[in-house]
Amino acid sequence: MRERSKFVPRLINAAIFILMEVAALRMLSDNADLQQLWIARGAHGFMGTVWGSTQGVKNYFSLRKTNENLARENFELHRELDTYRSLNHAVRVDSMGIRAGYLEGFEYIPAEVVKISRNKQHNYMILNKGYEDGIKEKSGIITRSGVVGIVDAVSAHYSYAFSFQNSDISISGRLGEEGAAGLLVWDGVSSRGAVLKEVPVHFKYAVGDTVYTSGHSLMFPPDIPLGIAGESRIINGATNEIRVDLFQDFTAIRYVTVVHNNDFDEVEGFLP
């Protein structure tokens, strides 16, 4: 009798469970369209995630090629722009009766920085091009944002260069289109800081003027924008020392252009 009394509640619970399952199946059948919509949305979301991840992987592996293509395009545009600058400079110089044919003697070679130092007073960079690629010593290194270094030594496939962020490097800079020239040097502190030295005090300028390569250097074409002139101070009562905010950020250099003046040795022969 006791066993029967235990069996009855179990039978009732089983019957209730079966009824609930039947009701659930009926509800699922009545709402099949809604269930299919949920399943479809879930499947689409999953496929979207997979496709997005796959495309991301493809983009990652194609990024280097894309960057190289952009660098080549930038190099070609930069070379064309420098050609126009040289022609414009030559016209101005010719109008004064001075021959400036050597400006047309620059050749341009694109390269990539494979190593660069930034935390020293004598920083350097190594490029992935050497003499077999046409790179020569005493060549300038530029980007679309300014001057970044000078080639010091070359091997067959690599070049060693002094970075502009080097206390031993100076380049000739000019204030504005027709302003005074001075020596532009790294300030030794920041990635975009420089100082234009030895500018005579009687030459006037305005804060915000653009500083360009002057053309007085044999390594760099004239009229390459370098940075913006800031505040100044008078040194020994004779010259101005002007702060310059460089266009080039030295924490973000990868693709560069090596420029070489083919008349460098001939012109240098006249120097004392």
pLDDT of residue 69: 54
- Residue that is written with structure tokens 């100044």 in the block: 232
**Triad 168, 172, 178: Cα angle to 5°:** 160
Q: Tell me the pLDDT of the chain (272 aa) as tens digits.
A: 545 555 556 656 666 666 666 665 566 555 555 455 444 445 444 444 444 344 444 444 555 555 555 555 555 555 555 555 554 544 443 443 333 333 457 889 999 999 999 888 899 999 999 999 999 999 999 998 999 999 999 999 999 999 999 999 999 999 998 889 999 999 999 889 999 999 998 888 899 999 999 988 889 999 999 999 999 999 988 899 999 999 999 888 989 999 998 877 776 666 55
Q: How long is the chain?
A: 272
3-state secondary structure (DSSP) of residue 269: coil
Ramachandran angles phi, psi of 124, nearest 5°: -140, 170
